[in-house]
Structure 1
Amino acid sequence: MFVALEPRRLYRQVADRIRALIEAGELVVGERLPAERDLAERFGVSRPTVREALIVLEVEGYIQIRMGSGVYIAQKPASTPAILPADEVDGPFEILQARCIVESAIAEEAARHATPQGIARLDEMLARMEQAVEQPERAIAADLAFHSTIADMIGNSALRHFISLLIDKRTSPYFQKLASYFEGPHTWQRAVEEHKAIRDAIAAGDPSAAREAMRRHLTLAQKRFSESFGEEPARED
């Protein structure tokens, strides 16, 4: 029933394969899917890839993810909404990895160009995040503004545009659905503390510390996003 996939657009392929099994009646309403780790082994992909595929299928209405219980086949939807554009191949974990690589370098350079006005702007965004840890939409807006402000410090419009393309993907319905499984006041508070470390390193004019603080923040963000659906807690090493 489940076979290994070619290493191309993997999470989309996993979603397509499971969807086809459901539509063919090989997976029936109410049936519980194998555990995430088992699906990963059978498809020959990583667990985060399986997780991304399951999010697509849940938003489409094909499955229900019940925290602490498992993933179940849902009543077949009357219509399937478009979750991602046909040519959209970047999954959340790829986006976060790209941000970690790019934004670490940006933070390093920003530490060389920091101004009192730029630091004041970072402080403003931090204050907004702290006030909005229980209001996800406001917290996300302040979070994205914080990262954008760091890119702005360098004064390179091309770089600012490029990083905006990555950061803006965080507001997609699919990305937000994935976040809904672990995000809450406690995770936003962690993000605030991680942002403070980035801010302090930039304000100190320490490029190496700024790079490391950003790398650590986005690495931990990847871990939080890759947390299993109630199976295993993400660890912060």
Structure 2
Amino acid sequence: MIYSRNAFGATPDLPALCVEHYEGAPLSYMTDIAVDRMGALTGAAAVVPTTTRTIKQFKRIGLPGAPWRYAITTNGGNILDNGVPDMRWRTALDAEVRTTAATLSQISAELRSRTADSWATRFRIADHLFCYLVVDLATFPADFLAEWDAWCRPRGWSASQQGRKIYTMPAAVCKSRAVAEVRRRLVDSGELSPDSRLLAAGDGALDAEMLRTADAAIRPRHGELEQLNWTSPNLTVTTATGIRAGEEILDWFLSSSAR
């Protein structure tokens, strides 16, 4: 839904509203049309923002339509209920990761031993749950991701790329699981009917399972899933790329939620 100026695509000078600042500087934008559509969508459906961002990173964003009852951050590692992290969810998830996967410390140490300053510009731990690298794509080794993912898989982790970021994630941490839990809560509380359709959008490999398990899903014609040519029987792919794809996705949500 939000795009940096470098990700605008074919319309780099398009007027847009800044919805995120970082260290006082504008960072992410939505078009005026997307802002209007987002506001309309929050009146038509139960919107649950879902992101790989940490809680702190998510709270930098001023999406139209906020606040929401629920939001999902850290790739499903955290569920926010009225902005407050649900510790029961997180505690249970941490326990599952401990019993099914190598520790974050073990993974981080191995990852650091495999990286070089010539192509890895930053290393980050996300909410004490997973880690990621920021890399220089011009010097990033072509075989690194496949080799690192192959090492991680037997240890209950996986690796994927999203632009300049290389994520290393426990298998138990998945957006689709958190989305299913939030949907269950909304149905149990009577805020959703049991036959309500689940609609989802995403553009990265970490979104694939969430898209696949939705009743209907959409992805833009750019990003990691586009590069992988990823598809699913329930999937729509936008015609537009860049920030215009955000408008098309919101139009699709509004049309689909009215059915």
Structure with the larger RCO, 1 or 2 (CA within 8 Å, 6+ apart): 1
Q: Sort the TM-score into its range (normalised by shorter chain).
A: under 0.3
- Larger helix percent: 1
TM-score (ref. length: structure 2)? 0.24
More strand by share: 2
TM-score relative to the length of structure 1:
0.25
